[in-house]
Amino acid sequence: MKIGVDGRKIPRAADHSPVEILEHAASLGMEGVYFRTVLDITPILDLGVLREVRERADALGLYLQMGLAKVNPYAAAEAPEVRVLGDGDYTRGIVRMMEACREGADCGELWVACGNYKANLPGYYANDRFRTDAPWPDQLVAIEKFLHQLAPAALDLGVHLNIETHEEITTNEVVRLVEAVGPDVLGITFDSANVLARGEDPVAAARRVAPYVRATHLRDSVLAFTDFGLARSFSPCGLGVIDWDGVLGALWEHSPDLWASIEPAAPTMQMPIGLSDDAWRALHPDLDDDEVGELFRLARDYDERAQRGEVPTIAEFRAQPYDGEAFILRSAEHLRAALDRVERRAVAARG
């Protein structure tokens, strides 16, 4: 596996050109860049710009990945720029983005997601899963239908639409979408921290999605006990609760050449995990009691380590100033060490 970084979340990304982002990533020892969407590189789908980015990535020895947009028709109105690209047709806009990724940058593993996160809304309502005007099962039906509409273009171009395990969707639901539309069209972008928000154990989640994972967003998380139950806050890999040997081992077993992209994020946002809330649980029919128990165990274990002074307390952790480069470097060091252990165990097992 090669270790890279999310091109949108690398420090000072907003002030740098795509080529400068590649150069910044290389200076940090990264082996690739995963641009969240092709529009982060060129909002007008300029093929010349995309070719320049591809050429610079190749010259630096970096992998290059990029993505599209949301594939939830209920969220389409929140991305008017995609509709503009399609001359008023959101579907055509997505197809044109797919064409640009393939023709301009020769990228075929393309990120998509099924919802948005709105930090200005309270509690669960920040998450599209909890919309009251559009029940989540209806959204899933619409997403599957839309993905079927995109399938012919994806097959023709030889690309995969890799659905992120985003905050609004469970791994079981993502797997069902892949299997319904077909793994020749769909794959999965595995976000290691987002699965916690849906009450899933990251190792079990990684095992579920591993056969279909074609891209990653990797970051750790701290789990805290709060007045409303557990809450997730992002952390560098190795500082939180995730068992990276277990997660990377599950992914490596199916895709040893997978590109692993770090997604740095500040710890300031706490996302509630409503495991003690009957209404929340009712919207998670696949919730597994063993995995729920594991999340509580992980939270208790972190709290005990903090009391022993082995890791920062939750308050100390959230009070620390955020340093994006330190997040990336610490994560990369931990991931590489875990990968080394995974690979050595695999070699030993083969005898």
Confidence of residue 227 (pLDDT cuts 50, 70, 90): confident
- Collapsing DSSP to helix, strand or coil, 341 comes out as helix
Q: Which of 264, 249, 163 is nearest to 206 (CA)?
A: 249
Q: Which residues contact 91 (CB under 8 A, 6 or more apart)?
A: 146, 149, 150
Q: Using an 8 Å Cβ cutoff, are 195 and 202 in contact?
A: yes
Give mean pLDDT, residues 54-63: 98
What residue ranges define each of the domains in the chain, with the CATH number in brackets? 2-342 (3.20.20.150)
What count of residues does the chain have? 351
pLDDT for residue 210: 98
pLDDT for residue 349: 86
How many CB atoms are closer than 10 A to CB 103? 14
Structure tokens at 268: 């300031």
| Whether this model's pTM surpasses 0.75 | yes
Q: Using an 8 Å Cβ cutoff, are 170 and 200 in contact?
A: yes
Kindly report the average pLDDT of the chain as a whole number.
95
Distances (CA, A) of 234 to 202, 222, 348: 14, 6, 34
pLDDT for residue 315: 82
| Angle, CA of 106, 112 and 114, to the nearest 5° | 170
Lowest mean pLDDT among 27-36, 169-178, 297-306, 326-335: 297-306
Give mean pLDDT, residues 164-193: 98
Q: Using an 8 Å Cβ cutoff, are 196 and 240 in contact?
A: no
Distances (CA, A) of 287 to 43, 132, 214, 280, 283: 39, 21, 24, 11, 9
Alpha helices in 123-163 (DSSP H): 136-157
Phi first, then psi: give them for residue 191, nearest 5 degrees: -100, 115
Residue 269 has pLDDT above 90, yes or no: no
| Amino acid identity at 269 | M
pLDDT for residue 289: 96
pLDDT for residue 40: 97
- Where residue 240 falls (left for φ over 0; alpha for ψ -120 to 50; beta otherwise) is beta
HSE (CB half, 13 Å, CA atoms) of 322? 15
Confidence of residue 70 (pLDDT cuts 50, 70, 90): very high
Report the C-alpha gap between 158 and 343 in whole angstroms: 30
Span 302-338, pLDDT tens digits: 999 999 999 888 888 888 889 999 999 999 999 999 9
Span 271-288, pLDDT tens digits: 889 998 999 999 999 999
Q: Using an 8 Å Cβ cutoff, are 232 and 273 in contact?
A: yes
Give mean pLDDT, residues 188-192: 98
pLDDT for residue 282: 94
